[in-house]
Amino acid sequence: MNCDYFDAGICRSCTLLETPYAVQLAQKQEEARSLLSPFGEVQWLQPLASNEESFRNKAKIVVGGSADQPTLGIIDRAGRGVDLRRCNLYDPAITAALPVLDELIRAASLTPYNIPKRKGELKNILVTVSANGELMIRFVLRSKKLIVPIRSRLHWLYERLPNLAVVSVNLLREHVALVEGPEEIILSERTTLPMQVNDLTLHLRPQSFFQTNTEIAAGLYRQGQEWVRQASPASLWDLYCGVGGFALHAAQVLPASSEVTGIELSSEAIESARRAVAEYRLANLEFLAGDATEFALQQATVPKMVVVNPPRRGIGHELATWIEESGIETFIYSSCNAKSLAKDLESMPSLKPVKARLVDMFPHTTHYETIVLLQRS
């Protein structure tokens, strides 16, 4: 992939861009294989490769410059805005929306937040696109001051972006290096963005997590679904379930008598997952909001199978120890950090990885996902 920003030294986020993609995959596979090698003989499946460009379904845009000359991209070390609106990683629908957002900033005088001076209001704009091209746009603000000018131009925004589904304002009041804050104000009539994945539609609310690469996420879920189908457990927990990707795919291939439970800390994500359950009338699937570790430790019975998809830090020693002592025979671990995965496996010596697959969610970087099937020895 060619990138003018990279060649000019403006953005180096794609650290492996100069490495041929086949070599990137081989290097990631070798690292994952090395990290899992102490835990036994693993059958490595063919890596799931991504498109090299236009694969990002979400743009986390830092707004810099001024209201009459905004930059949409990143901030350099001096706190100045660097415009990256033509980034080749973005889905074309995102790229097409950025000039409209530029025009909105100028017309509504949405003053960008100046990090060194700690002045201004508009910090970030988060744009997410679904597989059918619908958009969710979130304006991350310092305060509520700009809500009125944004709301007053919603009709104009919908005219310019007819594929726009959800618009919201997120409040990040503190001067901190975060993308978004805890408060969300939805301005549109619609509250969720339908995300088409395989033959399912998941529902994404503004503060719900969803993988950055829709096509690769679909492959990840298919792999987990196939392993669930082969095991055919009578009961399954999907811990750190997000909007329900693994649990919904599992429920599709399990008998109606099987019990599937999804656990996620975000109540927003759980609300989204429950909407999908209602739409597909899945009587054997339940979603609950709560901490995955606390939930597991509080249950009187254990399931036949567990799926986990934790954040980069992994599941941690406490949950890993509970799984080790639970007697669960089959376990699927979907990891975005193979190093924390390896650390968690140290706490589960009775569960041996038997199959694994590299899933390249993040081309041109050192990051990748690994999905592993473990069975009790």
pLDDT value of position 77: 87
- Mapped onto helix, strand or coil, the DSSP state of residue 325 is helix
State the average pLDDT over residues 267-285. Answer: 94
Structure tokens at 269: 């994500």
Q: Which residues are catalytic?
A: 336
Q: Cα–Cα distance between 44 and 22 in angstroms, integer?
A: 17
Domain C-terminal end among 125, 159, 191: 191
CA dist 125 and 150 (Å) reads 12
How many Cα neighbours within 13 Å face the side chain of 173? 6
What are the tens digits of pLDDT across the range 217-270? 999 999 999 999 999 999 999 999 999 999 999 999 999 999 999 999 999 999
Residues 227 and 365 in one domain: yes
- Supply the pLDDT for residue 353: 97
User: Within a 10 A sphere around the Cβ of 235, how many other Cβ atoms?
Assistant: 17
Quote the tokens at residue 43. Answer: 């059958």
Residue 113: pLDDT band (50, 70, 90) is: very high
Residue numbers in the known binding site for S-adenosyl-L-methionine are 211, 240, 264, 309
Residue 296 clears pLDDT 90, i.e. is over it: yes
Q: Which of 206, 208, 209, 166 is nearest to 187 (CA)?
A: 166
Residue percentage of the chain with pLDDT more than 70 = 100
- Chain mean pLDDT for the chain: 96
Whether the predicted pLDDT of 33 surpasses 90: yes
Q: Are 24 and 363 in contact (CB under 8 A)?
A: yes
Residue 207 forms part of a structural domain: no
* Residues 218 and 153 reside in one and the same domain: no
Q: Looking at residue 272, what is its pLDDT?
A: 93
Residue 64 counted as domain residue: yes
Q: Which domain range does residue 41 map to?
A: 4-52+213-376
Contacts within 8 Å (CB) and 24+ apart, 334-337: 334/220, 334/224, 334/246, 334/307, 334/308, 334/309, 334/369, 334/370, 334/371, 334/372, 335/309, 335/310, 335/369, 335/370, 335/371, 335/372, 336/311, 336/312, 336/361, 336/367, 336/368, 336/369, 337/312, 337/313
Does 178 lie in the same domain as 67?
yes
Does residue 74 share a domain with residue 181?
A: yes
Render pLDDT for 187-228 as a digit per residue (tens, 0 to 9): 999 999 999 999 999 999 999 999 999 999 999 999 999 999
Which of 131, 96, 299 is CA-nearest to residue 215? 131
Q: 89 and 125, same structural domain?
A: yes
Is 117 part of any domain?
A: yes
Dist. CA 369–CA 47, nearest whole Å: 10
Does position 78 have pLDDT exceeding 90, yes or no?
no
On whether both 32 and 67 belong to a single domain, the answer is no
Quick one: which of 284, 239, 246, 286 has its CA closest to 265?
Answer: 239
Indicate which CATH number applies to the domain containing 295.
Answer: 3.40.50.150
Same domain flag for 96 and 24: no
Binding residue numbers: 211, 240, 264, 309
User: Please, which residues bridge with residue 202 across strands?
Assistant: 195
Q: What is the pLDDT of residues 306-341, one digit of tens each?
A: 999 999 999 999 999 999 999 999 999 999 999 999
Report yes or no on 204 lying in a domain. no
Answer yes or no: is 198 within a domain. Answer: no
DSSP designation for 112: B
DSSP bridge pairs for 194: 203
Q: Do residues 282 and 164 both lie within one domain?
A: no
Query: Mean pLDDT throughout 125-146?
Result: 97
- For residue 264, give the nearest of 246, 238, 282 by alpha carbon: 238
Task: Tell me whether residue 205 is in a domain.
Answer: no
**Domain tally, the chain:** 2
Q: What pTM does this model have?
A: 0.95
Whether residues 369 and 338 share a domain: the answer is yes
